[in-house]
Structure 1
Amino acid sequence: MSRYDRYVLSQYLLFFGFFALILVAVFWINRAVSLFDWLIGDGQSVLAFLEISALSLPNLVRMVLPLAAFAATVWVTNRLNSESELTVLRATGSSPWQLARPAMVFGLLSAAMMSALSLFLLPASLAQMQFREAELSRSVSAKLLNAGNFLHPSAGITFFIGSIEPDGTLQNVFLTDQRDPSVEITYTSDRAYLVREDDEAHLILVDGLAQRKEAHNDRLSTTAFSDFSYPLGDLSPARAAGARPLRNIPTLDLLRERASITEEEGHSAGAQAEELHLRFARAAVTFAVVMIGVSTLLMGGFSRFGIWKQVLGAFVLLILIEGMRGVVADPVRENAAMWPLIYLPATLGVMISVLFLHLATRPQALMRLTRRKTQETDA
């Protein structure tokens, strides 16, 4: 690798890190606001918030990585052109293919990073995040053990604790159950304990009073008790069981256990094929958008007015490639044999970049083509 290649590659990587950091920060702040409100509002610790935030980062990076790579490619290539560095290299005999060589290496590095994310890190992080979110939802202490506030852990339930002793004893407990429209039951007690038997939580009320009010006749009956067990199963939902989301299934399982996944979890062969090949296609698309960025800008020579037309064309092609990714997914879900369609956007992007680099090596033909289009427009 020449000194020029190392210099340009270092610029690509530098600005890639900058754009990736900015984009991840923007997406993460938007996600963190709702996440913070959910976790901290339900009594979870800051550590739980940081853990869930860290587990969501691979998915955020996966979304912004192609955009960051494309932005870095366009930014650096445009700067090299505006500072006449590309013009000097062309004058010394460097071909567009040689000028695009650092971008090819950068595209391969970006594709390798995307492969590591899509194939390994992303499924593992999503599966772990689903597991932790289920655990947090099941946490009775997060929903109930908050002294001094009226809480509504479930629809129709109002819960209040006066104070919590260091040994875990709940003092001055108030609980109203209005889930049944025909009956309202209110429990009050001096002391209570939160216990768990197997996988079900119970609230043990001591020295309390139960008041039962029937809506149809406004009759109120009261019962004093020395101890009473109130099941909290409805307030502490069990961890969701059943089929795993396809995004959470490890790549090796999608490669080797398709039949068992279809039989046990109900995911069709087409949905599995679309998810599996999409993980590989993301890396190819990342390489394609980098090559589109550099090849489109290399088609324009030095101009005092810049190469804004080429930059605009590169963004249009990026939107086209990203739009095609959504179009080709539906046929694959319906028919797994059509999985090659998943790679169509990346293949088209690479073909366009090869065509543009070929045209850039023949500036006279490109000028004749541009002149012909201008004459047809004037006519």
Structure 2
Amino acid sequence: MSRYDRYVLSQYLLLFGFFALILVSVMWVNRAVVLFDRLIADGQSAMVFLEFSALVLPNLVRMILPMAAFAAAVFVTNRLIRESELTVMQATGSSPARLARPTLAFGLIAAAMMSVLTHLLLPASKGQLAARETEIARNATARLLTEGHFLHPGHGVTFYVRKIDPDGTLNDVFLSDRRDPAREVVYTGSRAYLVRDDGRANLIIVDGMAQRLDTRHRTLSTTVFSDFSYDITPLVTKQEGEKRSPNMVSTAELIRNPHTVATETGTTIGKVTEVLHQRFARALISLVAPLVGFSTLLLGVYSRFGLWRQVLLAFGVLVGLELLRGALAEPIRDHPDLWPLTYLPGVSGLILSGLFLRFAGRPIRWPLARQVPA
């Protein structure tokens, strides 16, 4: 690798790290707000919040990695053109294909990062995240035993306990059940206990009162009881099934036993096929993104108005490839034999990049572009 290649590659990696950090931070903050509201409101600790935040990072990085690689390639190439560094290299006889060599190396590095994410980190993080969500959803103590706070363990349900004794006794309990629009019930008690029995969770309220409001007839009835059992199983168990998703399965297992995975996850063989080949296709897109950005900016002639036309063209090509990938997803799910179409966006991007590099020696004269005489 020549000194020029090392110089350009170092610039790519530096800007790639910068753009990746900015994009991941923005997306992580948006996701963290939702996680914080859901976990902390359910009585979870800050460590659980940090754990969940770390587990969603691989998926966030997977989404922004091609965009960060594309942005780095466009930014560095634009600067090299403005500062005439590429012009000097072309004057020495370097062809556009030769100048694209560090971009190709950068694309291969981005593709390797994407491969590690999609084949190793992403399935492991999704599996661990699902396991932790199930564990927390089943943990009634973590969801309900938070003293001094009004908690909402389910839609239309509010729970409050003033104090918790060291032996687990709940003092001064308040429970409001508004899940039935025709009847609202409020339970209060001086003491309560959480009891598990055969996979079910019950809240035993002692020395309390139940107030039932019939919203249809506008009547209120009260009942005083010495002890009362309230089933809170629906509030502390996961409503969804506990089957694995194909995204949680390792690539090796998807290749060896696709039909077994489809049966176990309750999905179709087409979905399994799409998930498998998308993991390889994403790495190809990560390679294509910087090549598209670099080759497109080499088109055209110098203009005092900058390279905004080429930048828009490069962005349009990348959006078109993503739209093509989305359009092909449904046919592949319905007809697994069409799996080669998964790689069509990546191959199309490589072909376009090659054509752009081929025509880079013959600049396109953009309409309305003001030419500067030599």
TM-score, reference length from structure 1 = 0.87
Cα deviations by residue, 1:74-128 (Å, 9 ceiling, x for unpaired): 1111111111111111111112121111000000000010111111211211121
Counterpart mapping for 1:112-123 below 5 A: 112-123=112-123
Match of 2:47 in 1: 47
Counterpart CA distance in 1 for 2:46 and 2:242 is 30
2:149 maps to 1:139:
no
Counterpart mapping for 1:64-79 below 5 A: 64-79=64-79
Match of 1:203 in 2: 203
Higher mean C-alpha deviation, range 264-273 or range 16-25: 264-273
Match of 2:372 in 1: none
Counterpart mapping for 1:253-292 below 5 A: 253-292=253-292
Match of 1:191 in 2: 191
- CA 1:139/1:370 → structure 2, altered by over 3 Å: closer, same or farther? same
- CA 1:191/1:113 → structure 2, altered by over 3 Å: closer, same or farther? same
The answer (yes or no) to whether the contact 2:24–2:64 under 8 Å persists in 1 is: yes
Which residue type is aligned with residue 39 of structure 1?
L
The answer (yes or no) to whether the contact 1:203–1:229 under 8 Å persists in 2 is: yes
Residue 235 of structure 1 aligns to a residue in which SS?
helix
Residue 16 of structure 2 aligns to a residue in which SS?
helix
Which residue type is aligned with residue 244 of structure 2?
R
- CA 1:127/1:239 → structure 2, altered by over 3 Å: closer, same or farther? farther
Which residue type is aligned with residue 339 of structure 2?
W
Which residue type is aligned with residue 193 of structure 1?
Y
Cα deviations by residue, 1:174-201 (Å, 9 ceiling, x for unpaired): 3455656787765443332223345332
- CA 1:109/1:180 → structure 2, altered by over 3 Å: closer, same or farther? closer
Larger Rg: 1
Identity of aligned residues (%): 53
Match of 1:377 in 2: none
Counterpart CA distance in 2 for 1:219 and 1:311 is 68
Counterpart CA distance in 1 for 2:141 and 2:348 is 54
Counterpart mapping for 1:220-369 below 5 A: 220=221, 222=223, 224-225=225-226, 228-238=228-238, 240-360=240-360, 363=361, 366-367=362-363
Report the alpha carbon displacement of residue 296 of structure 1 after superposing the two structures with TM: 1.4
The answer (yes or no) to whether the contact 2:137–2:237 under 8 Å persists in 1 is: yes
Match of 1:106 in 2: 106
The answer (yes or no) to whether the contact 1:87–1:301 under 8 Å persists in 2 is: no
The answer (yes or no) to whether the contact 1:277–1:339 under 8 Å persists in 2 is: yes
Counterpart CA distance in 1 for 2:123 and 2:259 is 19
Counterpart mapping for 1:27-66 below 5 A: 27-66=27-66
- CA 1:155/1:294 → structure 2, altered by over 3 Å: closer, same or farther? closer
Which residue type is aligned with residue 53 of structure 1?
S
- CA 1:222/1:267 → structure 2, altered by over 3 Å: closer, same or farther? closer
Counterpart CA distance in 2 for 1:156 and 1:37 is 17
Cα deviations by residue, 1:300-344 (Å, 9 ceiling, x for unpaired): 455544333222221111111111111111211111111111111
- CA 1:338/1:177 → structure 2, altered by over 3 Å: closer, same or farther? closer
Match of 2:94 in 1: 94
Residue 167 of structure 1 aligns to a residue in which SS?
coil
- CA 1:270/1:217 → structure 2, altered by over 3 Å: closer, same or farther? closer
Match of 1:23 in 2: 23
The answer (yes or no) to whether the contact 1:183–1:212 under 8 Å persists in 2 is: no
Cα deviations by residue, 1:338-371 (Å, 9 ceiling, x for unpaired): 11111111111101111111222xx3xx25x749
Report the alpha carbon displacement of residue 228 of structure 1 after superposing the two structures with TM: 4.8
- CA 1:102/1:165 → structure 2, altered by over 3 Å: closer, same or farther? same
The answer (yes or no) to whether the contact 2:144–2:151 under 8 Å persists in 1 is: yes
Higher mean C-alpha deviation, range 213-222 or range 149-158: 213-222
- CA 1:163/1:343 → structure 2, altered by over 3 Å: closer, same or farther? same
Which residue type is aligned with residue 245 of structure 2?
P
Report the alpha carbon displacement of residue 15 of structure 1 after superposing the two structures with TM: 0.1
Structure 2 unaligned blocks of 5 or more: 369-374
Which residue type is aligned with residue 172 of structure 1?
D
The answer (yes or no) to whether the contact 2:213–2:221 under 8 Å persists in 1 is: yes
Report the alpha carbon displacement of residue 36 of structure 1 after superposing the two structures with TM: 1.0
Which residue type is aligned with residue 291 of structure 1?
L
Higher mean C-alpha deviation, range 183-192 or range 319-328: 183-192
Counterpart CA distance in 1 for 2:89 and 2:182 is 84
